[in-house]
Amino acid sequence: MRAFLLIALLILSASSPATVYRWVDENGKVHYSDEPKSNAEAVDLNKNTQNSMTINTPPQAKESPKTESQINYSVTIISPQEEATIRDNNGDLTVNVSVSPKLPRGAKMTLLVDGVVAVEPQTAPIFKLTGIYRGEHNLVVNLVTQNGKVLASSSPRKIFLHQASVYSPANKARQ
């Protein structure tokens, strides 16, 4: 019973508009209020004066085009193979890389040898290294945007570089 009475009061209060009073002050300025003043007169509100608005929601857009950060890039070192032994007295090495999907505009690849950038960033998937010292090395290729954000990295690739002698002609030139 109380719920019915409460609902009925809510419906009646929502359907009855509040009275609006209008008055002019001593400076000739017009004021409106919901509280009566000494020289105020009630204003009759027509249905045409009440504001109503409808909200039109735009149709749902189809899937938005993915930005570079939303695309999952994959960088893979194709060669040399994992734990490959490379025999080169001059310390020359070629690294081949694959990027999937296609390299985005403005992005470049950097090759890190033992955590240090070995060559200038480039778009070509073939890196030519020279003067690498013998021993174990870890290779990683990063796909980097123009502002330096890394989009993807390859898995580290461990290789071994063997040289016949530390005293090879190429190494003597470095000393």
2 vs 5, 6, 7, 9, 63, CA distance in Å?
A: 5, 6, 9, 11, 51
Strand, helix or coil at 8? helix
Distance CA 84, CA 5 (A): 86
All CATH 2.60.40.10 domain ranges in the chain, comma separated: 74-174
> What does each of the 175 residues of the chain score in pLDDT, given as a tens digit?
777 766 766 665 555 556 788 888 888 888 888 888 888 888 776 666 566 677 777 776 565 555 555 788 889 999 999 999 988 888 898 999 999 888 888 899 999 999 999 889 999 999 999 888 889 999 999 999 888 888 889 999 999 998 876 665 555 555 5
**What CATH architecture is 74-174?**
Sandwich (2.60)
pTM for the full model?
A: 0.55
The amino acid sitting at 3 is A
Distance CA 7, CA 18 (A): 19
